[in-house]
Structure 1
Amino acid sequence: MVETDQLVAFERIVREGSFSKAAFALGISQPTISARIQALEKSLGGPVFTRGRTVHLTERGTSFLPFARRALAVLNDGLNAAKLAASGEQGALRVAALRSLTVHLLARASGVFMERFPEVQCTLFEGDHWMVIEQLHDGVVELGLICYPPLDYGVAEVKPLLRMVEPIVLAVHPDHPLSQQRSWTREDFLAGCPLLLQQRWWQVTPLAINRLNEQARKVADVPMEVGKHLVNSGLAAGFFPKMLIQPELDAGLLVPLELEGLPPMHRETALVQLARRPHISPIARHFMDLVAKVASKLDIEVHREHSTEHARFDDV
C-alpha cells in the first residue's frame, strides 16, 4: 500500500532534482527518504527514478507523477476543509423555519450568512410547526425555527438555543372604517369590523382571541399570505406578528389598533436543535449569532438558552 509520506518524498525529489535536496527540504535524513522511495517502488512494481549523479524519472515514474500530485492535492483540500468545518467556515447549514419567520428573520440572517461564508452549503426549508419538528427528528435539518414550547411529543426532544418573544399587532388598512381611531372598545370594534381574520400564528390560539372570534360578525380562517392580502386590501382586520408587517406599519400602509380590555399579545418562538445532539456545530453557532442579531434589530426580545461565543458580526 502506498503511504502519504512516500508520495510526499517522491513529489519532492521531482521538484528538487535530487534525493539529498529533497531530504533537506523535508527535514529528514537521506537514508529515510531513500527507504520511502524503495517502499514506493515495491508497491508500483519497479523503479520510478534512474539513479546516478542526476535523478530522472523513469517511464513508470513519469506516468505515476500526475496521480501522485493529484492525490496530495486532494488530501490537502480535505485537510483544509476539515479545518474550515471546525471553525464553521465550510460545511453545510440545514435549517427549517415557520413560514411566518422566513420572510424577514430567516431571509435576512441567511443572506448575511451566505455572504460571509460562501463555502458553506446552505439548505433552507419552510413549513408549519409540525413539519419543522418532523424534519428535525428525521435528521433532514440541524436547526429549526418553531413555536415554543412545542405542545407535542417533541417537547422533551428539542432544546432551545435562542428564545424569541415578538408582539402581536391588530392591524387594518388606512381605508378601513376602524382606522379612524387607534383605540376601541370591544363592542365598537366588533360592530365596525365586517370581517375578522383567524390567523395561524400560534399552536393554540389565546383564549382572549378565541372569545373575540366568537363574538365577531364574521371570521375567516386563512393562511398567512391570504390574510395579509385581505388586510392590505382593506377588507378585514387581523392579528399579525409585528415583524411580519413592520414595513407596512412604518410606511403607513397599515394602522395598528388597540382594544380596551384586551391584554398585550405575544408569540414565543425559538431556534432549536435536537436535545440528543451533544454540541452545537461551529456553523450552527455562527448562524445562531446572526439570527439573534437580526431578531434584535426587528425589535424581537431575544434570550440565549445556552452559553455561546460572542457574535462575530457587527453589521447585519
Structure 2
Amino acid sequence: MEFRVIKTFQTIVRLGSFQLAAEYLKYSQPTITLHIQKLESELGFKLLERGKSIKLTEAGKIFYERANILLKEYEYLNNTLKDYSTGEAGTIRIGAAEPTASSRLPSILSLFKKRYPNTEISLLVADEKHLHQHIRNQEIDFAIGTVSESFRDIEFEALLTEKLVLLLPFNHALTKRKTIFAKDLIHETLITAGQSSVQKKIEQLLFERTGQLPAKVQLGTISTLQHFVKENLGIAVVPQISATLPPDQVVVKTIHDLHDGPAIGILKHQSHTVSTAGKTFLALLKQNLAFDLKKAQIELSV
C-alpha cells in the first residue's frame, strides 16, 4: 500500500471531488481514479460511493479516520529522518575536560540547542585520562580537551592554545611588578588543581623555564583554587579562561615567558564516524573557539 495512494484518498474526501483532488495534487484525473481503484482492490472493499457527490462507505469512514493518523505519523517520520540527515536531530555524546567544560561549553551548547532543539546532547565531564578510555570504548563521539601523550587509536585536532595567567593575593609583592618571569615563582607556594593534562603541562613548562618546581598545595578544582589564593595560601598558574571573574582580592597577572599553555582541541577514535548532528556541532564549536582565541589574544595584548 503506497502512501501517495492513501494521500490521494484523503485529499478526495477532504476536497469533495476527484477533479479538485487532481488539481490540488497535480495529477491527471485518470491517475486519481486509478489510485482509488488500486486502494480498494488492495483492501478488498469499497471506500467511496460515486455519484453527484462523493460519499464515504462505512468502511471508508473507518479507513479515512485511520488514514489521517497514518499520514501524520508518516509526515512526522519523514521530517525526523530529514532532520537526522541534515544534522538538525539526533544524539551527540560529548566528553569535555576542565576548564573548557565549565567556561566554554555552556554558551556553545545553549546556542546549539536554540538552533537545533530536536538534537539530544549527552555531556560527560572528566579528566583526559578517563576521556581517552571512553573514546577508546566509543562510549562518546568525541571529546574537547588536550593530550599529555600520543595514542595510535585516538586522533587529536588542535583548535587553540590555552593562555596562562598568574593568580596572586592582592597584597603579594609580585602584584607591584610590571614584568613577571617564571623564575620569580620558584620560592612561592604553588596551588594546583588536580593532575589534569593542563596542570601537568603547566608544571612541565615551569620546570623547563626554571629547572625546578615550587612547593605545591594540590586541590581538586580550579574554582576552589582561586579562593585559596584569596586567603593568601599561595599563588596559582591557571588557564586565562578560568580567571575571567576572579574573587575579590585576587589579582590576575601575565607571566612574560610563560603565557602559552597546552593545545586544546578535538579528540576522537580514528575508526569512529561522527554523525551529521555531531559534525554540525563541531562546526559551531570550531567557530566559537576561534572567536575565543582572538578575544584572548586581544585581552593579553592590552
Q: Which TM-score applies when normalising by structure 2?
A: 0.80
The corresponding residue for 1:305 is none
CA separation of 1:23 and 1:288: change in aligned 2, threshold 3 A? same
Q: Do residues 143 (structure 1) and 139 (structure 2) align?
A: no
Q: CA deviation at 1:43?
A: 3.7
The corresponding residue for 1:163 is 159
User: Aligned partners of 1:197 and 1:21: how far apart in 2?
Assistant: 79
SS where residue 293 of structure 2 aligns? coil
Range 18-27 or range 178-187, more displaced:
178-187
The corresponding residue for 2:95 is 96
Q: Is the 8 A contact 1:201 1:241 kept in 2?
A: no
CA separation of 1:233 and 1:291: change in aligned 2, threshold 3 A? farther
Q: Is the 8 A contact 2:136 2:269 kept in 1?
A: yes
SS where residue 158 of structure 1 aligns? strand
User: Aligned partners of 2:238 and 2:260: how far apart in 1?
Assistant: 10
Q: Do residues 207 (structure 1) and 204 (structure 2) align?
A: yes
CA separation of 1:81 and 1:37: change in aligned 2, threshold 3 A? same
The corresponding residue for 1:179 is 175
SS where residue 99 of structure 1 aligns? coil
Q: Which structure 2 residues correspond to residues 32-51 of structure 1 after superposition, within 5 A?
A: 32-51=31-50
CA separation of 1:69 and 1:186: change in aligned 2, threshold 3 A? closer
SS where residue 298 of structure 1 aligns? helix
Q: CA deviation at 1:147?
A: 0.7
Q: Do residues 52 (structure 1) and 48 (structure 2) align?
A: no
2:243 counterpart (242, 245, 250): 245
Q: CA deviation at 1:174?
A: 1.1
Q: Do residues 258 (structure 1) and 282 (structure 2) align?
A: no
The corresponding residue for 1:231 is 229
User: Aligned partners of 1:207 and 1:296: how far apart in 2?
Assistant: 26
Q: Is the 8 A contact 1:243 1:298 kept in 2?
A: no
Q: Which structure 2 residues correspond to residues 231-310 of structure 1 after superposition, within 5 A?
A: 231-248=229-246, 253-256=250-253, 258=255, 263-277=258-272, 281-299=275-293
CA separation of 1:17 and 1:233: change in aligned 2, threshold 3 A? same
Q: Is the 8 A contact 2:153 2:270 kept in 1?
A: yes
Q: CA deviation at 1:235?
A: 1.7
User: Aligned partners of 2:289 and 2:238: how far apart in 1?
Assistant: 16
User: Aligned partners of 2:144 and 2:226: how far apart in 1?
Assistant: 21
RMSD: 3.2
User: Aligned partners of 1:86 and 1:186: how far apart in 2?
Assistant: 51
Q: Is the 8 A contact 1:164 1:301 kept in 2?
A: no
SS where residue 248 of structure 1 aligns? coil
Q: Do residues 219 (structure 1) and 216 (structure 2) align?
A: yes
Q: Which structure 2 residues correspond to residues 3-82 of structure 1 after superposition, within 5 A?
A: 3-82=2-81
Q: CA deviation at 1:15?
A: 1.3
Q: Is the 8 A contact 1:173 1:254 kept in 2?
A: yes
CA separation of 1:181 and 1:151: change in aligned 2, threshold 3 A? same
SS where residue 141 of structure 1 aligns? coil
Q: Is the 8 A contact 1:166 1:301 kept in 2?
A: no
User: Aligned partners of 1:53 and 1:184: how far apart in 2?
Assistant: 95
Q: Is the 8 A contact 1:91 1:119 kept in 2?
A: yes
User: Aligned partners of 2:181 and 2:150: how far apart in 1?
Assistant: 36
Q: Is the 8 A contact 1:159 1:274 kept in 2?
A: no
User: Aligned partners of 2:111 and 2:11: how far apart in 1?
Assistant: 42
User: Aligned partners of 1:240 and 1:285: how far apart in 2?
Assistant: 30
Q: Is the 8 A contact 1:178 1:189 kept in 2?
A: no
Q: Which TM-score applies when normalising by structure 1?
A: 0.77
Q: Is the 8 A contact 2:226 2:246 kept in 1?
A: no
The corresponding residue for 1:127 is 126
Amino acid at match of 1:226: T
Q: Is the 8 A contact 1:94 1:124 kept in 2?
A: yes
SS where residue 123 of structure 1 aligns? strand
CA separation of 1:71 and 1:233: change in aligned 2, threshold 3 A? farther
User: Aligned partners of 2:135 and 2:65: how far apart in 1?
Assistant: 44
User: Aligned partners of 1:28 and 1:207: how far apart in 2?
Assistant: 73
CA separation of 1:164 and 1:201: change in aligned 2, threshold 3 A? farther
User: Aligned partners of 2:37 and 2:180: how far apart in 1?
Assistant: 91
Gaps of 5+ in 1: 303-316
SS where residue 254 of structure 1 aligns? strand
Gaps of 5+ in 2: 297-302
User: Aligned partners of 2:20 and 2:47: how far apart in 1?
Assistant: 17
The corresponding residue for 2:299 is none
Range 118-127 or range 94-103, more displaced:
118-127
